Amino acid sequence: MHLFTSEGIVIHKLKYLESDLIVTIFSITEGKLKAIVKGGVNSRKRFPGAFEVGNIGEFGFTAKNPYQLMYINHAKVNNYLIDLKKDYDKIIMLFYILGITDAMLIEHQSHPKLFEFLVYTIQFLENNKALNQIRLFYEFHLLKETGLLPAIEKCESCGRPFAGNRVNFLQQTGKLVCESCIPHNTGTFAIPDNLLLLIKAVNNNSLNVDEFLKVDVPHAMFDITTRLMSNYIDRPLKIWQMIDTIQ
């Protein structure tokens, strides 16, 4: 019997058969894991409220062998997000952040750094109203961790360095290009300098979170991050429509 315990975050839950749950946990040691909770739907005594999405705690996993679906036989939750759940927009943002995490991570690949950022992000969300900043903060880190955050050093069309030049996002192709490479009649968005600096800081692990929470985030920034994620996920996510309802 394979057995281990890990700190984890509940990122998804689904009712399975009559009374079981299938939960997806982002664990610090083993990455994203799916597991069955026997009788999880009604077990208020054994696991009181343990499998609400966004919960952070300690989860015990068992499996007969490494190739089988696991079971959770122990759960101890540290946060119940009581304040967050009083705010509809924050709930949507929480679902969104957990949803992109679920979509972007592959099972059994550990991402301990991203795990810490997700814990951070959920805490920010509980104590802060800067929803767009929190969203962008987490998206940048998720993209960095999955190797998709661009370094933004060279124009993706002519290959010349961006130094001192504006960086433009082409809405049609998703390319980041210099001023002279913008084709005629194309929708573009020039990334503001302070956000360029933040992308660089995330890339260099030198981000100051407090500074981040103060910047303005134009909505067009999310066209860029959504494009970067959707290239990778390859299917539209319902949460992308959902998140637009709170902007």
Residues at the interface with Zn ion (CB under 5 A): 155, 157-158, 178, 181
Alpha-carbon distance of 166 to 196, in angstroms, equals 10
Torsion angles phi and psi, residue 154, rounded to 5: -125, 150
**What does the DSSP assignment read for 166-228?**
--EEETTT--EE-GGGPPTT--EEEPPHHHHHHHHHHHTT---HHHHTTS---THHHHHHHHH
Q: Is the Cβ of residue 79 or residue 157 nearer to Zn ion in the bound state? A: 157
Cite the DSSP H helix spans in the chain.
Answer: 88-104, 112-127, 131-145, 193-203, 209-212, 220-233, 238-244
Q: Nearest approach, Cβ of 28 to Zn ion (angstroms)?
A: 42
Q: Is the Cβ of residue 74 or residue 175 nearer to Zn ion in the bound state? A: 175
Q: Nearest approach, Cβ of 100 to Zn ion (angstroms)?
A: 30
Q: Is the Cβ of residue 125 or residue 155 nearer to Zn ion in the bound state? A: 155
Q: Nearest approach, Cβ of 162 to Zn ion (angstroms)?
A: 9
Q: Is the Cβ of residue 3 or residue 158 nearer to Zn ion in the bound state? A: 158
Q: Nearest approach, Cβ of 158 to Zn ion (angstroms)?
A: 3
Q: Which two tokens stand for residue 226?
A: 């959504």
